[in-house]
Amino acid sequence: MKIIRTKAKNSIAEDFAKTPSVAQEIEYRKLIVVEELLQFMKREGINRSELAERMGVGPSRITAMLSGDSNLTIDTLVRAGRAVGADLMQTFVPQGEKGRWATKS
């Protein structure tokens, strides 16, 4: 008996290899910024109610922001950053290139 190995297509890998649509990239960027905000909140011991108070908004606004359901404007992100003791940093990088912030050594 002879066993023949074949390589099956991996549709998940193929999906990840495709360039994301604008809508997909927007959702991904929202997830990243919300995760970073949550990390700052955790580090500083700030809960959702305190974040709302510091930002001068209602708790429902924080829930919407952290769930990714709301439009995260620059204004909102700067206010959220200030509320957790952080500054918002952003830039544009040519498509297909990677960029990162260099820290002082």
Identify the structural domains of the chain with CATH numbers, from first to last: 21-83 (1.10.260.40)
Indicate if the pLDDT at residue 105 is higher than 70.
no
pLDDT digits (tens, 9 = 90+) for 47-74: 999 999 999 999 999 999 999 778 899 9
Cα of first residue to Cα of last residue in the chain, in angstroms, is 63
Q: Which two tokens stand for residue 55?
A: 């930002």
Per the model's pLDDT, the better-predicted residue between 46 and 18 turns out to be 46
Q: How wide is the angle at C-alpha 103 spanned by C-alphas 100 and 105, nearest 5°?
A: 145
The Cβ-side half-sphere exposure at 41, using a 13 Å CA radius, reads 18
Which pLDDT value is given to residue 99?
79
> Taking residues 32-38, what's their average pLDDT?
95
